[in-house]
Amino acid sequence: MKKTNLIINIFFIVFTFFSCKNISKKEANTNENKIESSSEIPSKYYGNFHVRVETEATTTGMASISYYFTINEKGAYLETNAYHEPIRCNGRYRGKMNNNILELFYIGIEQNCENNYSNFKIKNEGDKFYIQGLGGEGTFNVWIELESKITSF
């Protein structure tokens, strides 16, 4: 019985290890080139934006992530500050317009941040901007209003 459980556990670990997809440098460059050759970011999206999202209650307070985006003709740059959350996927993003929504794709050097789907989506309604892809399970698919900042951060 113990031997069977051990074999099953080893099989599961080996299977999990080999089924994790590691993006090779060649695949990453292909994805980056694909995004770079996409349409330009419309000037109405240019600026400095920020938003804060609460993620979960902890024993010492509410965990949260603050996102700071700079968007211009060259692409987008993200910097985050977090309380009780990991800081990840900071850096450069390329923009691509898709059905009047700006999609941002990570092109930095952090592992596990780059993928075939956009990391964030930004839409414009009147004079307001909304973003999708923030936080965790409770907020990831919700459109949250971005606050515009005139000064850089």
At 3-16, the pLDDT tens digits run: 665 555 554 454 44
Q: What are the extents of the domains in the chain?
A: 43-148
DSSP state of 1: -
3-state secondary structure of 4: helix
pLDDT at residue 24 in the model: 39
Taking the whole predicted model, whether its pTM rises above 0.75 is answered as: no
DSSP state of 115: -
What is the per-residue pLDDT across 79-107, written as a single tens digit (0 to 9) for each? 998 887 777 899 999 999 999 999 999 99
Question: Are 131 and 148 contacting, i.e. CB atoms less than 8 angstroms apart?
Answer: no
